[in-house]
A and B are shown apart, each in its own frame.
Chain A
Amino acid sequence: MDTTLKHQADLTDLNPKPSAPAPRRKNSKWAKLRKDYWLYILLLPGLVYFLIFKYLPMWGVVIAFQDFSPFLGVLESKWVGFKHFNNFFNNPDFARLLRNTLILGFYDLVFFFPAPIIAALLLNEVRVGIFKRAVQTMIYVPHFISMVIVASMTYVFLTTNGGVINEIIYELSGQRINFLADPAWFRPLIILQIMWKETGWGTIIFLAALASVDVEQYEAAIVDGANRFQRLWHITLPAISSTIIILLILRLGNFLDTGFEQIFLMTNSLNRSVADVFDTYVYQVGIRQGAFSYSTAVGLFKSVVGIILIYGSNYFAKKFGHEGII
């Protein structure tokens, strides 16, 4: 960002030195403001929105430092400082929760994040329009099916007690696999469920990005003799790379978020050691102990980590010459 600004200043001001004397800089600032007058008008509604609906209610985060009771409100509820954070970090299960959360977040990033990209690229290679549109419409349907149904269906297909998949496995090998109870299968199941459910929906953004790629570049490349894969590598991928990076950075902001409902539904007494994550833990504690203060505290912790990850990855993205989100 700074280099661009400097660059433009060079072009328009004919003054390459970054540090101009103060009055000159002030003048050009006001001049810029007046020039960009319409841009500020366009900015205004959104800005007001953020201030009113996001920043005005933000005082709520202070309840992370209280024993908040809705009836008493923020002013009357007792202040407890870092008590909830202490409880959270000193909880004997903290290490396990952290490990499970991180591993799931990592699997999600490594396996699920690329899936819509790959699917979009594959769809992009389809030349039969009807097929492409039909597939696009079908693969995004699972996004609309609630997690409860998905969990039910998972049970029906995978149970050792007559589930279709297990019956097939039994026919083939004489054994059954206890997908639902075996801790070793929990994380793969979660990721497979997510991939089934959200890959199609995730392709939409990438298909939009792919639609914006300059067709002329492809035509020029074909004339130059590039085959499909070369075109993919040299034109398509770079064209959508900034979208991928943006989405990656944003995803890191939610790194510690796991799908609470999904995990909750798939957890049972036999796989809890790998299944319990921050979110399910907070929910369980929450329903006993007025959800508010404790869950706000944990949420605050996740937010802080998320912010660090976002700014950190943004920094690295820019270091490698890509555009960040700022």
Chain B
Amino acid sequence: MNSSKYDSFGERLFDVLNYLFLAIFALVTVLPFVYIIAGSFATEIELIQRKFFLFPRDPSLSAYQYIFSSDTLFRSIGNSVIITVFGTLTNLAFTLSMAYSLSRKDLMGRNFVMNLVIFSMLFSGGMIPGYLVVKELGLLNSYAAVILPGAISAFNLIVIKNFFQNLPPGLEEAARIDGCSDVGVLWRIVLPLSKPIIATFGLFYAVGHWNNFFSAMLYLNDSKMWPLQVMLREIVMLSQVAVGDMSAFDPEFVEPPDQAVKMAVIVVGTVPILLVYPFLQKHFAKGVLLGSIKG
């Protein structure tokens, strides 16, 4: 795509407008977050007095000191990392293998399984039966309870299967002629070609694990096992009473946290996972795949 000197005027104009538009879009999407970061380093008064700013007048670490004042937060970060890493590996293992086998169009029973998957995507028993199944399996209070029930997202499965289906058939034929088995094709051809897909869905699954608090609260009784989001949510929950104000529940003995603390909570809960994507972006470079292998 590097052909700038051949571009017409129209194409160059398009480029200028494109860059401008993307720059504005990027700013509009990122500035509120910059405000949140700035706010997390600000004092309460500044947050009340100034509606929006990018740099705090009077920086203060008190919100972060408050959040990190105990070990439990650090431990919960560790828990989150464990759940995210092992969870994502589990997800990818289950999803990629199933998607690959379903992408073989001549597999007998394929339609049956696909219908099974689609049906399960839309019909669900709800929270209580799900909990009872996990309980009967003896998984309560273990990380398995947080990882296994979500091992495959039907949506992800379907999209990945579709990607596998769209890989050029010529490659597979060539590999088979060379004597590759099904698993060999998967391992040696399909997966390396699918790096962008694996990166994408690895990211999706990872973000899902990182942001998850509900199943952790449900299945993990031991607060030492709680991941970050559960901790953070508890800190912020009081002020998120969307249905009214403090008179609503038990505010006589608990004070809502400062604005700055709420913002610091967002920063702590979000920045780590935000940093994952830039590292994955190199897998999204074009032409990683086919040209080289075709030879």
Contacts and interface: CB of A to CB of B under 8 A. Distances in A.
Contact, chains A and B (beta carbon distance below 8 A): yes
Interface of A: 1, 4-5, 8, 29, 32-33, 36, 38-40, 42-43, 45-47, 49-50, 52-61, 63, 70, 119, 122-123, 125-127, 131, 133-142, 144-146, 148-149, 153, 156, 164, 196, 200, 204-205, 207-216, 218, 222, 227-229, 242-243, 246-247, 250, 253, 264-265, 292, 296, 299-300, 303, 306-307, 310, 323, 325-326
Contacts of B288: 211
A76 to B, nearest CB: 14
B2 A127 contact: yes
Contact of A292 (B8, B126, B132, B283): B126
A59 B128 CA distance: 10
Nearest to A148: B240
Given A42-B183, A208-B199, A325-B114, A29 B126 contact: no
Given A141-B274, A214-B287, 18 more contacts: A1-B111, A32-B108, A47-B98, A50-B117, A50-B120, A50-B152, A56-B129, A57-B132, A58-B123, A70-B128, A140-B29, A149-B266, A214-B291, A218-B1, A265-B242, A325-B114, A325-B158, A326-B115
Contacts of B183: 38, 42
Interface stretch (B18-26, B65-73, B246-254): B18-26
A214 B101 contact: no
A55 B120 CA distance: 7
A131 B19 contact: yes
B30 A138 contact: yes
A33 B98 contact: no
B94 A142 contact: no
Contacts of A1: 105, 110-111
Given A8-B106, A50-B116, A310-B118, A125 B18 contact: yes
Contact of B18 (A38, A54, A126, A215): A126
Nearest to A325: B158
Q: Sorted from nearest, which 8 A-B pairs have the closest CB atoms? A: A60-B125, A46-B98, A215-B287, A57-B129, A60-B129, A57-B125, A208-B196, A54-B120
Nearest to A143: B207
B7 A228 contact: yes
A144 B94 CA distance: 26
B200 A145 contact: no
B49 interface: no
A250 B154 CA distance: 10
Contact of B104 (A39, A53, A205): A39
Contact of B94 (A45, A125, A213, A307): A45
Contacts, number: 264
Residue with the highest number of chain B CB atoms closer than 10 Å, among A33, A57, A142, A292: A57
B288 to A, nearest CB: 6
B28 A46 contact: no
Q: Is the interface of A mostly helix, strand, loop or mixed?
A: helix
Given A36-B182, A58-B123, A212-B289, A46 B94 contact: yes
Contact of B286 (A60, A61, A210): A210
B212 interface: no
Contacts of A205: 159, 200
A52 B120 CA distance: 11
A299 B125 CA distance: 10
Contacts of B277: 136-137, 140, 204
The listed residue with most A CB atoms (<10 A of its CB), out of B36, B101, B163, is B101
A185 to B, nearest CB: 19
A160 to B, nearest CB: 15
Given A43-B97, A211-B288, A141 B30 contact: yes
A246 to B, nearest CB: 5
B205 interface: no
B129 A49 contact: no
A297 to B, nearest CB: 11
Residue of A4, A123, A139, A204 ringed by the most chain B CB atoms within 10 A: A204
Contacts of A229: 11
B29 A196 contact: yes
B120 A126 contact: no
A205 B98 CA distance: 20
B118 A325 contact: yes
Contact of A211 (B27, B286, B291): B286
Contacts of B3: 222
Interface in B92-139: 93-95, 97-98, 100-102, 104-108, 110-111, 113-126, 128-130, 132-133, 137
B163 to A, nearest CB: 7
Interface centre among A123, A200, A250, A300 (most CB of B within 10 A): A250
24 contacts: A29-B108, A32-B106, A36-B108, A36-B182, A38-B182, A39-B100, A46-B94, A49-B148, A53-B130, A58-B125, A63-B126, A139-B25, A140-B29, A142-B29, A211-B283, A212-B163, A212-B166, A218-B1, A222-B6, A227-B8, A264-B242, A307-B118, A307-B119, A326-B118
